[in-house]
Amino acid sequence: DTAVSQTPKYLVTQMGNDKSIKCEQNLGHDTMYWYKQDSKKFLKIMFSYNNKELIINETVPNRFSPKSPDKAHLNLHINSLELGDSAVYFCASSQQGQNNQPQHFGDGTRLSIL
Amino acid sequence: GQQLNQSPQSMFIQEGEDVSMNCTSSSIFNTWLWYKQDPGEGPVLLIALYKAGELTSNGRLTAQFGITRKDSFLNISASIPSDVGIYFCAGFTGTASKLTFGTGTRLQVTL
């Protein structure tokens, strides 16, 4: 009955590799997000999709490419991984509407670059 | 961009004590949210505030939307060991805008 689920939970890989993280939500929300949490626990938005359309794209290197095959899924593909990409990546979802609706988060993917 | 500063950065308290933390910004926000993050998990929503002056409770937690719309406060009464974690404020400056997170307050509770 998990609301926002991400896979994998842990990802350890070498510099230069390409990897993907998957996210799915069963809340019926129409907006999904990717956040990056650094070692100091600071949470920063990377991307946001509403009904499969990109609506927020922060200044993220173009090695990061999100893909939303449908409104319940938002995947993140990362090319040519670098040491600085090590972080925890969180997927979130919310229902867009007139009022700003709270976002619901997954449990994160811990990415470690060797 | 907007920054949300939380204080204190961390606090060590004894079980049973009350806790207060706050979140301030130089910009006006129209929605404030408070989240808690346990180790190895994602942030979980505690309280949402939508109007200036609003005071909302969730069990032992009470949060307030500051009158100036530039700050918010969270109080925890009679703390227990499971209150340990990182508390984040977050806010929206407009509709359909980005959610900005605060710097977090790390709470430790001793028996």
The pLDDT-based confidence of A60 (bands split at 50, 70, 90) is confident
- pLDDT at site A97: 65
Mean pLDDT check: name the lowest of A12-21, A47-56, B17-26: A47-56
Q: How far is B41 from chain A (nearest CA, A)?
A: 4
Residue A45 to residue B98, Cβ atoms within 8 A: yes
Please, which residues 8-47 of chain B have a Cβ atom closer than 8 Å to chain A? 30-31, 33, 35, 37, 40-45
In this predicted structure, the answer to whether residue B49 has a pLDDT above a threshold of 60 is yes
Distance CA B20, CA B63 (A): 10
In this predicted structure, the answer to whether residue B97 has a pLDDT above a threshold of 90 is no
Interface test with A, best of B45, B56, B72, B99 (most A CBs within 10 A): B99
> ω into residue A66 within 30 of 0, thus cis?
no
The pLDDT-based confidence of A96 (bands split at 50, 70, 90) is confident
- pLDDT at site A58: 85
Q: Report the share of chain B in percent with pLDDT over 70.
A: 96
In this predicted structure, the answer to whether residue B15 has a pLDDT above a threshold of 80 is yes
Please give the structure tokens belonging to residue A88: 């925890």
The residues pairing with A66 across neighbouring beta strands, listed in sequence order, are A76
Q: Quick check: A49 and A74 in contact, CB under 8 A? A: yes
